[in-house]
Amino acid sequence: MDAMAGRKPAVVWALNISVVLLVALWLFPTLGLLISSFRTGDQITASGWWSSLFPAEQTMQIRVADPDDNRVDLGNGRFMVEGNIFEGADFEGELNAWGTSSRRLGEFETGVTADLGDGETLTVEADGSYVWEGDDDQISGRAQRVFLDVVTPPDFTLENYSFVLFDENNSEGMAKAFFNTLTVVIPATIIPILIAAFAAYALAWMDFPGRAILIAVIVGLLVVPLQLALIPLLSLHNAIGIGKGYLGVWLAHTGFGLPLAIYLLRNYMVGLPRDIIENAKVDGATDFQIFTKIILPLSFPALASFAIFQFLWTWNDLLVALVFLIDASGQTTVMTKQIVELLGTRGGDWEILATSAFVSIAVPLAVFFAMQKYLVRGLLAGSVK
């Protein structure tokens, strides 16, 4: 009765809710990072990113113009000062109400002449213009304080991106780190795919002694953390002279990515129709011809799936880059390391850090969305017969 027609089982609802929660957990921090990258440091420390999308109410304390320099004699012992309370202030917003004390915020409406006592009056308009009148003792000395209740519209800026991408004091390091990251990521993605494709075909369609043992070893390597191999591998690289350059980091990423690549590609290739392989062999095709002309084109979803994983991992990697790209001059600094260094020198500038972080994730996001349709197809390869 639980699975009656027109009703979804509870497990389906649980699955849908879980997917929505996972998407939200990924989406909201990314959206917050994007919005924060367009805000100033003062805005980030004053309010959360979610409040920046809507007009915000805030209280401002401003003094009117100095009465000794700007007052006008009206006669009969009366003086007047005119001006705009927003003059010289970097402010864009709407003035709703004002007061002369922090305890009585919004005491007076705009456009209404307020009686301050003993004949002293002050009129403040919505645009900030004011008229302050009183006798000689009142319109002298220190200027009148005004507490404003204002509504400020959402305010965003491109100065953060201008500093990160184009400022000569920072853009050179970030731009160099960007190209250094591409130098690491592109070969570190292509090399393991090439090697894994040949190995996966051999494990899927070629009979040779020890094939089952090799498959078991590859599956076992999937659970081995890369941290265990960092020091021995670095010692080996230093011994053969490739421990401080791109070649060492390429080989490291290749070695750490091969188990998953071979596992995914083999599962996909095993699921391909056997008749196609046998007919090609009957027609006289060699294993290499079958691999290049039949298997590779049909395995594109699995290849793209692993390429996404490998690209994202190598682009966001910091540990392997710190270990295998040892360069005191900073000529091989990747973006993750550049952001860490930026965090050390500009730890209080959250807007710069948010902008740098979003610039760093922009390329992986573009790659993921461009190739996401192949991701599920590649992951499910070989799971259903």
User: pLDDT tens digits, residue range 112-158?
Assistant: 888 888 788 888 887 778 888 888 777 776 777 777 777 777 778 88
Q: Which H helix or E strand runs over 148?
A: strand 145-152
**Which residue ranges of the chain lie beneath pLDDT 50?**
1, 382-385
Strand 72-75 and strand 78-84: the pairing is antiparallel
Cβ-contact 49, 35 below 8 angstroms: yes
Both 261 and 138 in one domain: the answer is no
Residue 277 contacts by C-beta under 8 Å, 6 or more apart in sequence?
205, 290, 294
User: pLDDT tens digits, residue range 249-302?
Assistant: 899 899 888 998 898 888 888 888 888 888 888 888 888 888 888 888 888 888
Tell me, yes or no, whether 272 and 344 share the same domain: yes
The verdict on residue 13 lying in a domain is no
Number of domains in the chain: 3
Is 65 found in the same domain as 28?
A: no
The reply to whether 5 falls in a domain is: no
Q: What is the rounded CA–CA span in Å between residue 246 and residue 333?
A: 11
Using alpha carbons, select from 363, 355, 320 the residue that is nearest to residue 339. Answer: 355
Q: Are residues 195 and 127 in the same domain?
A: no
**276 in the same domain as 141:** no
Q: Residue 247: in which H helix or E strand, if any?
A: helix 246-270
| Same structural domain, 46 and 60 | no
- Give ∠ CA 197-198-199 in degrees, rounded to 5: 90
Q: Final residue of a domain: which of 10, 32, 52? A: 52
How far apart (Å, rounded) are the C-alpha atoms in residues 136 and 184? 75
Q: Give the pLDDT score at 1.
A: 45
Give yes or no: residues 62 and 46 share one domain.
Answer: no
Among residues 123, 152, 181, the one where a domain terminates is 152
| Distance from the Cα of residue 309 to its chain's centroid | 18
Residue 355 lies in a domain: yes
State the pLDDT at residue 167.
Answer: 67
Is the same domain home to 345 and 246?
Answer: yes
In a domain, 62, yes or no: yes
Name the residue range of residue 256's domain. Answer: 161-379
Type and span of the H or E element at 56 = strand 56-63
Q: Which long-range contacts (CB under 8 A, 24 or more apart) does 15-22 make?
A: none
The answer on 366 and 229 residing in a single domain is: yes
Q: Is residue 103 part of a domain?
A: yes
pLDDT given for residue 114 in this prediction: 83
